[in-house]
C-alpha cells in the first residue's frame, strides 16, 4: 500500500475530466528512445576507440612487427600492449560518460503524469540519464573494465558526485542502480548479485521520482529489488530475492525478506556478533 501522501499526489496528478480520446500510443516515443540509445552507444564507443588509438599512435606504443605468425615473445608483447590499450579505452569511455552527463539537468523528486503529447521535462531528463546508465552497465567489448575504472580512484571521485550513486562504499560486483542521481549509499553497504536499486516507481498514469537512501552497514541480498522512496537504516538486512515496495522505511538492524518484503526479526547491533538464529540470508 502506498502512503496517503503519495496516494494524494497521484490522485491530484491523474484525476480530472475523462479524455475524449485514448492516451497516445507510446510506440513512437519508445522507438525514439531506442534510436537515441543506439546513437549514444555508437558515439561513446567510437570516441573511446579513437581516443585510445590516437594516444597509442602518438606515443609509438604499438609493437613494430605484425602479430601474424609471431613467436612467443612477440605475441606476449602484443598481448601486453593490447591490454594497455583496452585499459586506456575504458578510461576514455568513463570520461565520456561523465562529460555527457554534465549538461543534463538532474530530475527532481515528484509525481509526473503520463499521457500528454509531450512528457514532462523531468521524465525527458531521466530518459537521457537512463541512456548513459545503460551504456555504463552494458558496456561493449572492450569496455569490460568500465565497472573497475568507475569504482577506483581517480575517476570514482568524479563518478559519485556527477553521475551517481552518491556512495561511500565499494563493490565486488556492479549492482544495477537505476536513477543513480536519486540513490545514496553509506559506508560498508554490501549488495548481492543482480540486486536492483531504483530511485523511481511507475504508476499506470504517472512516474514517481523518490530518493532512495541506504545507510551504513546495510546488507542487501542477491536478486533483491528496492524501489524509489525506500529508506534503509543502519545495520538492516534485506534478504535475497526480497521486493521492497516504494516508500518503505526499514528500521535499524531489522531483517526483511519476502515479496513484498516484511520485517522478520530484529538483529543484534552491528559488531555484536552473529545472530544465534543463524544467518539472515
Average pLDDT over residues 60-88: 93
- Please write the tens of the pLDDT for every residue from 82-110: 999 999 999 999 999 999 999 999 999 99
Residue 6 lies in a domain: no
Distances (CA, A) of 226 to 110, 190, 205: 18, 14, 21
Same domain, 71 and 149: yes
Query: How confident is residue 115, by pLDDT bands cut at 50, 70 and 90?
Result: confident
Same domain, 36 and 150: yes
Residue 13 lies in a domain: no
- Please write the tens of the pLDDT for every residue from 235-248: 999 999 999 999 99
Same domain, 144 and 33: yes
How many whole angstroms separate alpha carbon 173 and alpha carbon 191? 8
The predicted structure's pLDDT at residue 3: 56
Same domain, 122 and 61: yes
Question: The pTM is what?
Answer: 0.85
Single residue among 163, 184, 201 that ends a domain in this structure: 163
Same domain, 208 and 145: no
Average pLDDT over residues 3-25: 56
Strand 231-232 versus strand 110-113 pairing type: unpaired
Max Cα–Cα distance, the chain, nearest Å: 77
Q: Which domain holds residue 199?
A: 165-271
Amino acid at each position: 500500500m502506498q502512503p496517503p501522501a503519495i496516494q494524494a499526489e497521484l490522485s491530484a496528478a491523474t484525476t480530472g475530466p475523462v479524455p475524449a480520446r485514448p492516451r497516445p500510443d507510446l510506440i513512437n516515443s519508445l522507438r525514439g528512445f531506442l534510436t537515441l540509445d543506439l546513437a549514444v552507444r555508437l558515439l561513446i564507443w567510437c570516441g573511446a576507440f579513437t581516443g585510445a588509438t590516437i594516444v597509442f599512435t602518438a606515443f609509438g606504443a604499438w609493437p613494430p612487427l605484425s602479430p601474424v605468425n609471431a613467436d612467443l615473445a612477440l605475441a606476449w608483447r602484443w598481448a601486453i600492449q593490447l591490454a594497455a590499450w583496452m585499459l586506456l579505452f575504458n578510461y576514455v569511455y568513463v570520461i565520456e560518460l561523465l562529460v555527457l552527463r554534465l549538461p543534463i539537468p538532474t530530475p527532481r523528486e515528484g509525481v509526473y503524469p503520463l499521457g500528454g503529447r509531450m512528457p514532462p521535462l523531468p521524465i525527458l531528463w531521466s530518459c537521457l540519464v537512463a541512456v548513459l546508465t545503460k551504456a555504463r552497465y552494458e558496456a561493449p567489448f572492450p569496455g569490460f573494465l568500465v565497472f573497475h575504472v568507475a569504482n577506483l580512484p581517480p575517476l570514482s571521485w568524479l563518478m559519485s558526485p556527477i553521475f551517481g550513486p552518491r556512495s561511500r562504499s565499494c563493490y565486488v560486483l556492479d549492482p544495477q542502480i537505476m536513477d543513480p542521481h536519486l540513490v545514496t549509499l553509506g559506508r560498508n553497504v554490501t549488495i548481492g548479485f543482480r540486486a536492483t536499486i531504483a530511485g523511481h516507481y511507475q504508476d499506470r498514469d504517472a512516474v514517481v521520482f523518490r530518493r532512495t537512501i541506504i545507510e551504513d552497514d546495510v546488507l542487501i541480498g542477491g536478486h533483491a529489488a528496492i524501489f524509489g522512496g525506500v529508506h534503509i537504516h543502519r545495520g538492516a538486512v534485506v534478504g535475497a530475492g526480497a521486493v521492497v515496495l516504494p516508500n518503505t522505511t526499514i528500521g535499524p538492524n531489522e531483517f526483511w525478506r519476502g515479496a513484498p518484503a516484511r520485517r522478520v526479526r530484529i538483529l543484534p547491533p552491528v559488531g555484536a556478533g552473529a545472530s544465534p538464529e543463524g544467518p539472515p540470508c
